[in-house]
């Protein structure tokens, strides 16, 4: 009798705390995922009576599509630079705001603020800066690099996206690094200092190995954000000029909703999902094996 009441009580607690989140997960994630998977096996163009099952035809067409791989190649370059620059800058900022100088809390707030601004608004703000402010400064002070509108030149347009993304993401990643740096046992740093280790040696031999869990998180978040970026891409460059900044998320969206190729677009979205998942899991696996314990 006692065991039966305990079992009922456990089921009640599960229903209260576990059933609702599970139901939400199924409705918000699983059902759209399965629906999208089924949609990718059709040639649906938005008209109900024109839908036909074509198997893996959309995936084969996506693999042969040069536009898909051109955007993917562009995205890989973008992801590479954004991931490296964001994490280097975030680590430097975290080291700065944990060094103990006056006003470091104010600096943390200031560095984090760009992350609070939505990507669309951020893109329009920087569009004004690139097209008006920088050009005005360049022409007034006769600085050739700034005198031209970077957004209209294919060779520089991608760099505007990279700069804005780094500026937006660095503050968020900085907070993860701050938590990692503050979690390092100070006795280890004091012991290495007593042993005669320089600041550079303490960074390489003590801090960085103990910061690997933070690197695992920040690299995962940066990779995911960079591969999936769309809002800044839309508001800052719209993929131009001449598709020189059309990243893969924008290519998939345009194919699915602008060109009304919902089935083929969904197949490209799943290919993108598979690539991002493979890269993220590989990164997590490698860094997890390099984690060390301070004890």
Integer angstrom CA distances of residue 83 from 37, 63, 86, 223, 230 = 29, 26, 5, 6, 16
The Cα 120–Cα 134 span in angstroms is 20
Lowest mean pLDDT of 35-49, 53-67, 85-99, 169-183, name the range: 35-49
Check residue 153 and give left, alpha or beta (phi > 0: left; psi -120 to 50: alpha).
beta
Please report the pLDDT score of residue 52 as a whole number.
85
The CA distances from residue 285 to 220, 221, 226, 279, 281, in Å, are 11, 15, 19, 10, 6
| Domains delineated in the chain | 72-293 (1.10.3720.10)
Lowest mean pLDDT among 7-16, 97-106, 206-215: 7-16
User: Cα(193)–Cα(201) distance, rounded to whole angstroms?
Assistant: 9
pLDDT tens, residue by residue, 119-150:
899 999 999 999 999 999 999 998 888 888 99
Higher pLDDT, 101 or 175: 175
Q: How far is CA 166 from CA 207, 283, 288, in A?
A: 23, 20, 25
Sequence-distant (≥ 6) Cβ neighbours of residue 197 within 8 angstroms: 205, 206
């Amino acid at each position: 009798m006692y065991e039966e009441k305990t079992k009922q009580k456990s089921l009640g607690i599960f229903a209260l705390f576990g059933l609702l989140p599970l139901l939400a997960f199924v409705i918000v994630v699983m059902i759209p995922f399965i629906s999208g998977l089924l949609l990718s096996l059709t040639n649906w163009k938005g008209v109900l009576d024109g839908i036909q099952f074509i198997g893996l035809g959309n995936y084969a067409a996506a693999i042969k599509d040069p536009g898909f791989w051109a955007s993917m190649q562009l995205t890989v370059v973008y992801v590479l630079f954004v991931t490296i620059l964001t994490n280097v800058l975030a680590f430097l900022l975290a080291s700065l705001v944990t060094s103990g100088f006056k006003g470091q809390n104010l600096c943390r707030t200031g560095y984090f603020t760009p992350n609070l601004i939505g990507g669309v608004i951020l893109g329009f703000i920087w569009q004004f800066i690139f097209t008006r402010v920088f050009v005005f400064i360049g022409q007034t002070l006769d600085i050739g690099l700034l005198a031209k509108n970077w957004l209209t030149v294919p060779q520089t347009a991608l760099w505007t996206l990279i700069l804005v993304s780094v500026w937006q993401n660095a503050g968020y990643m900085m907070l993860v690094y701050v938590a990692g740096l503050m979690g390092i046992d100070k006795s280890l740093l004091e012991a290495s200092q007593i042993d005669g280790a320089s600041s550079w040696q303490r960074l390489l031999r003590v801090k960085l190995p103990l910061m690997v869990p933070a690197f695992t998180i920040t690299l995962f978040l940066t990779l995911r954000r960079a591969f999936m970026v769309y809002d800044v891409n839309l508001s800052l460059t719209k993929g131009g000029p001449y598709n020189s900044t059309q990243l893969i998320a924008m290519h998939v969206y345009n194919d699915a909703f602008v060109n009304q190729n919902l089935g083929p677009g969904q197949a490209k979205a799943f290919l993108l999902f598979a690539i991002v998942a493979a890269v993220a899991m590989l990164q997590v696996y490698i860094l997890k094996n390099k984690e060390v314990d301070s004890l």
